[in-house]
Each structure stands twice: as structure tokens, then as C-alpha cells.
Amino acid sequence: MRYLIVGTAGHIDHGKSALVRALTGIDPDRLDEEKERGITIDLGFAHLDLGEGVRLGFIDVPGHERFVRNMLAGVGGIDLVVLVVAADESIKPQTREHFDICKLLGIRQGLVVITKTDLVDQDIIDLVRLEIQEFVRGSFLERAPLLPVSAKTGEGLELLKAELRRLALEAAPKPEDLPFRLPIDRAFVMKGFGTVVTGTLLSGRIEKDSEVEIYPVGRRVRVRGIEVHNAAAQTALAGQRTAVNLPGLEAKEISRGMVLAPPGLFQPTARLDCRLNLLPDARPVKNRARVHFHCNTSETIAELVFFDRKELAPGSSALAQLRLSAPGVFMPGDRFIIRQFSPVTTIGGGSVIDNQPPPHRFRDSSVVPLLESLEKGDAQARLEWLVRQTGEAPPSVLVSRTGWLPPEVLRLGRGLAAANRLLLLGQPPELFVHAEYFRDLAQRVIEQLEKFHAQNPLVVGLPKEDLRSRTGASRSSHAVAPSALLFNALLQALATQGRVDLQGETVRLAGRAIHLTPEEQVAKEQISAAFERRGLAVPSPPEVLAKLQIDRLRAEKLLQILLRENVLCKVTEELVFHRSALRQLKELLVRRRAQSSRINVALFKEITGLSRKYAIPLLEYLDRERVTRREGDERIIL
Ligand SMILES: Nc1nc2c(ncn2[C@@H]2O[C@H](COP(=O)(O)OP(=O)(O)O)[C@@H](O)[C@H]2O)c(=O)[nH]1
Ligand SMILES: [Mg+2]
């Protein structure tokens, strides 16, 4: 079964709605106001079974220039366009605007219908035919069928159906192997039934009873029912006109432009890097111009920022960033339309290249070529480019940035890993890392360590976390520290290569030892001696350091070295003892145990000759060292 969406296009009153009704038997003008005034205001829907496995959904659009924004909400999902031109009026302004929109949206197939042929003579029809041929020259409709019909007499309708069937069988089907995406074009409440949303399913499939998320508001709901072309269904497939019943929602929570998609899979964004094409008859567009942005069924205001120019000339094309005033879910490849801010006319359109661009340095000359490679590359090249752009990325981010299913992202990632372009860290892969970034980071780690050792000859190494924050990304335009997962893998790799030594949380260059100057050597011995000489009644460290010939900072470092070498031992923040004094104290207690295994503070003070200031911290130290164990006011010597 082939499901395709046919959209009408053309000037008001040229017979679009009448044609849909004549073909399908369904009146697409469903609103009371539309029926009363005889004009189409909002989108209308109908469907037609053409046999041979072809089912068409029709989206009838309003032709009035005031309702182009409604037209834009419908035209995003169409596969085939029926450009309608009335025989008695020929080409009019919205014929042009609608056709421009179809071209900008990259619609590839369709046909032209000359309607109301019953109102004119054959030579007028021939004249209109010539005008249309001129009008579509060089476009995707250049070689398309051009069919005269009358919705009133039915003349030409059978031929039109045959051509639609032929085109439908030729058309490329919408992708089913992507996550589902249903841009909402209508939301309403049905009494006793709850909220219903409708749209054209752009990709994937929606199952009844499955959970969906409403983007960008983040509401999650279970699908209670599905209708495809007005018949209840278990599943809706890509390309089908779909109605979804969502229980427990207020109609006002949901509106045109929101998107139904798998829960948690996508990330709404308000910034898009894109290719932008300006229509030949538009006015030049300045950098930072505000425009109306229409994509799928959504509409918002956007600011245009160019990378390489101050202004875009009519008829030309450029890369640009769009900054949206409201976030939405957009995928690379999505087509959009821009309309001038005021007066509102269609001036251009384009396609999304990057839906989550990192902050660029806008004058950075590498941005444009990189975006161009992302625009042109195949799936694997694009995935690699996205990872390269930020250096590292979890698969979930890549799903959201590509719009592909997680297994597909993983499959392509594994291919790139096999080609040594990426590293996949974690099991199952939690992180994709670009191989060049990994090498750059390794280089930076070594450089940072060299710099650190040069500046701190008296320190063994750098704490891991400090080193990580000093190793910001060099590839990307913004310096972000590598993630802990990546950084640990990096250090492991460097350790395996014998380039760094890891000692707990400290990292140093392999083989790097501390080199003391003769002056420092002397000072170090003086510190050690100063503590040793005083036994347990030690001086305070600042007092010792103040007496040295070298500067305070280096003296502090020497003290640290002595502590690390276990020559000195820190018992509290203020009290540092020489190892030998502590050893003697322990021996004293062991001897004491021969007499009695119990000792209290007073006795401890007596046998050591120490004041309370030293006695209490030392006893607590002995407890920690399991030389003694506290029991009430006393201690047991163990
Ligand atoms: N005589 C004649 N009138 C038509 C034909 N198609 C549409 N009309 C009339 O033209 C008017 C506009 O038609 P409608 O379908 O609403 O145009 P739309 O604005 O393009 O949707 C209506 O009064 C229709 O009855 C046709 O083939 N022959
Ligand atoms: Mg109409």
C-alpha cells in the first residue's frame, strides 16, 4: 500500500477546494465560516482510494494571501502538489507565491491543473497552457502533466486520477526507519473522547497504547486511539494523515506547531544552522534581520545571522544561523520558509543543517567549510562531523542531532570506530569521541604537565581534576573541559604508553622526580632537624619556616615534600611531628603496657611530660593508629 499526501496550491477562488471535493466526494472546507463565506481559511483534509494499492490524503490549502501562514502549516508534509490555475484568470499573485513556496520546500513532484474549463473557450485554455508552460520552465514542474479539468462537469477528472496514481507509484516513500515525528496541524476536543491531534506523519510509525512526548512542552501521554484517513487503526505509518487521541490533556495545552515524537529522544532547540535561499524578487536581507520562520506546522519569529556576509542578495544562497524566538523540534534536512517581517511576504527558504549548533566564533573562517561538509556528507560523514564539532558526544545527543534511531547511530559509530575515526567509550557505548580530538587532548595533557612541572619543581604532580579543567577542548571554538569518562580513558591510554604516571588522584609526567637546589636541600634538612630536635613538644610549622633562608612559598613546598616522604607527619592541621618522635612515643606506650594496659590523660601527660595542648591530639592520633583504644575516660594500650 502506498500512502501519499497531495497538497493543493494556487490563487484564491481558482477552484482548489471544488477540485478536491470533485475528486474525493469530501468537502475540505469544514469550518462553518468557510461554508458561509465560500472561502478556505484553514487547512482542509480529504482522502481518496485510487486502487492498485494507492491511497491519497489531500491537504487543501487556503489561497487568500491573508492565510498563507495556514497554507504553510499544511504544505510541509506533502509529497505531490496539484498547482491549480483557473482557466478564466490564469496566473495570479498567490499562484506565484504558492509555487515559490513549493520550490523552496524542495517538493519534487506534482502536476498542474487548469480548472473551470467549462467557463472558457478552447483557445483561452490554449493561451493559459502557454502561460503556465512559461511559468514552470526550469522548475520541478517543467515536464509535469498539465491537465484541463472542470469540477463542475467532471471533464478531465478521470485523467487527473490516472496521473495522480502514476505519480504516486513513482514517488519516494517517506522513511519508516526513523523515529516517528508528527507535526501537529490541528488539536481539538471531541466530547466524551478527549483531545485529538492531527497531522501528517513525517517519518516512522506510531502504535496505539505507546507513550509519546509532546515537544517542546515535554508532556508525556499514552496514545489511546489512532485514526488513519478517518478509520481506526492500530498503527499509523509515515506518509499517512493521522489523528491521535491523547487522554488527560486540556485542548489549550496543545496547539499547531507542536510535535509528537518518541519520549525523551529529541531536544528542542532555538538555534539552527541552515542553508538559506533568497527569492529573486525579494529585497536584500541584512545580517540580523528579523523574519517569520515556518517549518513543518510551526511558526515563529527568527533572527538571521550570517557567517560570511553582511547581507544576502536576491536570488542567492548562503549559510546562516537562525535564532528562533521559541524552541521547537527540527531535524537536519527539514525545509523551512521565511517571510519578510513586514509587510509579510514570502522571501525565501532553506533547509536545516545543524539543529544544535555549538556557539560559533562568527568570524572563524572554519565555520563555513565545516557546515558545508555537514551539508553535503553522507550519513557516516555527517555523524563523524557532528562528533568532531564538539570532540565528544553521548549517543543520545547524536540521536537528537541527526533524527536517526539509536541503533542506527550506534551502527554508524561502530563503523567509524573500526576506521579509527572515532573512539567508543563505555559498555554499551556511552560516549563517542573523535580520534583527532583524543590525540589533541593527549598532546594538551602532556603540555599542561610539562608546564606544571616547570613552574612547580617541588610538587610531584597535578591533581587529576585540576589537570582536567586545564585541558579544555582545542578543536571546538569554545574551551570545554573533557568529560570525566573521556579524561580517565585518556590518562589510562597515556599511562599504558608510559607517558604519564598515575598515583591515586595525582598525575605526573613519567619518570618526573623532584630536583632540589643545594639551597633547598639545606633548607629541607633544617626543617626536618627543627622538628626532630624538639621531640614531641614541637614548634608550629610557621615558626620553623620563618627561620629559613629561602622564601616562604618554597619552604611550604619543602614541608609538603617532607610530609609526603613520611619524614614528618601531620597529626592535626596545626601540629606536625617528626616520625622518630612518634615512633619513640609508640615504643614508650608498648613498654608501659608491661605495667598496665590502661592509661588516662593525666598519666599520659605525666609519662610524656607534655601539656594538654599536645597530649589530647596525640592520644587521638594514637587511637587512629590503633595503638590505643578509647574507653570512657581511659585508653587501652593495644
Ligand atoms: N464553473 C465552474 N466553477 C467552479 C469550478 N471549480 C470551482 N468553481 C467555483 O469557483 C468558486 C471558487 O471555488 P473554490 O473551490 O472555493 O476555490 P478555491 O478558493 O481555490 O478553493 C466556487 O464558487 C466554485 O463553485 C469549475 O470547474 N467550474
Ligand atoms: Mg479553497
Best mutation site among 14, 114, 149 for ligand 1 pocket (most ligand atoms within 8 Å of CB): 14
Q: Which atom of ligand 1 is nearest to 150's Cα?
A: 27
Closest by alpha carbon to 246, among 220, 272, 284?
220
More confident residue, 475 or 512: 512
Q: Which atom of ligand 1 is nearest to 18's Cα?
A: 15
Query: Which ligand gives the minimal distance to the CA of 19?
Result: 1
C-alpha grid cell, residue 377: 556528507
386 pLDDT more than 90: yes
Output b/e per residue, 163-192; b: 16+ Cβ within 10 A.
bbbebbeebeebeeebbbbbbbbbbeeeee
474 pLDDT more than 70: no
More confident residue, 479 or 582: 582
Q: What are phi and psi of 232, to 5 degrees?
A: -60, 140
pLDDT band at 475 (very low <50, low <70, confident <90, very high): very low
Ligand 1 within 6 A of 16 CB?
A: yes
Ligand 1 within 6 A of 115 CB?
A: yes
Provide the pLDDT for residue 52.
Answer: 85
Provide the pLDDT for residue 281.
Answer: 93
The answer to whether 434 and 482 have CB atoms below 8 angstroms apart is no
For the stretch 185-243, pLDDT in tens is: 999 888 777 899 999 999 999 999 999 999 999 999 999 999 998 899 999 999 999 99
Ligand 1 within 6 A of 152 CB?
A: yes
Instruction: For residues 420 and 439, give the distance between their C-alpha atoms in angstroms, rounded to a whole number.
Output: 12
Ligand 1 within 6 A of 40 CB?
A: yes
Check whether the bond before 62 is cis (ω within 30° of 0).
Answer: no
Q: What are phi and psi of 469, to 5 degrees?
A: -70, -20
Q: Which atom of ligand 1 is nearest to 14's Cα?
A: 20
Provide the pLDDT for residue 20.
Answer: 97
Ligand 1 within 6 A of 118 CB?
A: yes
Q: Which residues contact 529 (CB under 8 A, 6 or more apart)?
A: none
- Closest residue by CA, ligand 1 atom 14: 15
What is the 8-class DSSP label of residue 559?
H
Instruction: For residues 258 and 273, give the distance between their C-alpha atoms in angstroms, rounded to a whole number.
Output: 21
344 CA distance to ligand 2 middle (Å): 21
Provide the pLDDT for residue 473.
Answer: 53
| Coil vs helix vs strand at 422 | strand
39 CA distance to ligand 1 middle (Å): 10
438 CA distance to ligand 2 middle (Å): 59
- Closest residue by CA, ligand 1 atom 13: 15
448 pLDDT more than 50: yes
Instruction: For residues 355 and 611, give the distance between their C-alpha atoms in angstroms, rounded to a whole number.
Output: 71
Instruction: For residues 40 and 248, give the distance between their C-alpha atoms in angstroms, rounded to a whole number.
Output: 32
281 CA distance to ligand 2 middle (Å): 27
Ligand 1 within 6 A of 119 CB?
A: yes
The answer to whether 136 and 92 have CB atoms below 8 angstroms apart is no
Instruction: For residues 486 and 242, give the distance between their C-alpha atoms in angstroms, rounded to a whole number.
Output: 43
More confident residue, 84 or 51: 84
Output b/e per residue, 83-99; b: 16+ Cβ within 10 A.
bbbbbbbbbbebbebbb
151 CA distance to ligand 1 middle (Å): 8
Provide the pLDDT for residue 476.
Answer: 47
The answer to whether 236 and 206 have CB atoms below 8 angstroms apart is yes
- Closest residue by CA, ligand 1 atom 11: 13
117 CA distance to ligand 2 middle (Å): 17
More confident residue, 557 or 354: 354
pLDDT band at 161 (very low <50, low <70, confident <90, very high): very high
Best mutation site among 8, 12, 13 for ligand 1 pocket (most ligand atoms within 8 Å of CB): 13
Alpha-carbon separation of residue 177 from 76, 185, 408 (angstroms): 20, 23, 9
Provide the pLDDT for residue 479.
Answer: 64
Q: How many other CB atoms sit within 10 Å of the CB of residue 284?
A: 13
Task: Name the CA dihedral angle for 547, 549, 554, 558, rounded to a multiple of 10 degrees.
Answer: -60
* Residue the block writes with cell 491537504: 59
141 pLDDT more than 80: yes
Q: Which residues contact 277 (CB under 8 A, 6 or more apart)?
A: 104, 316, 317, 348, 349, 350
pLDDT band at 451 (very low <50, low <70, confident <90, very high): very high
C-alpha grid cell, residue 289: 534581520
62 CA distance to ligand 1 middle (Å): 13
Best mutation site among 8, 11, 12, 17 for ligand 1 pocket (most ligand atoms within 8 Å of CB): 17
Q: Which atom of ligand 1 is nearest to 60's Cα?
A: 21
Ligand 1 within 6 A of 588 CB?
A: no
For the stretch 516-549, pLDDT in tens is: 888 888 999 999 999 999 899 899 999 999 888 8
* Vertex 18 angle, CA 13 and 24, to 5°: 155
Instruction: For residues 51 and 297, give the distance between their C-alpha atoms in angstroms, rounded to a whole number.
Output: 30
Mean pLDDT to the nearest integer, 77-93 = 96
Amino acid at 209: D
Mean pLDDT to the nearest integer, 461-481 = 75
For the stretch 392-425, pLDDT in tens is: 999 999 999 999 999 999 999 999 999 999 999 9
Ligand 1 within 6 A of 151 CB?
A: yes
Mean pLDDT to the nearest integer, 39-68 = 92
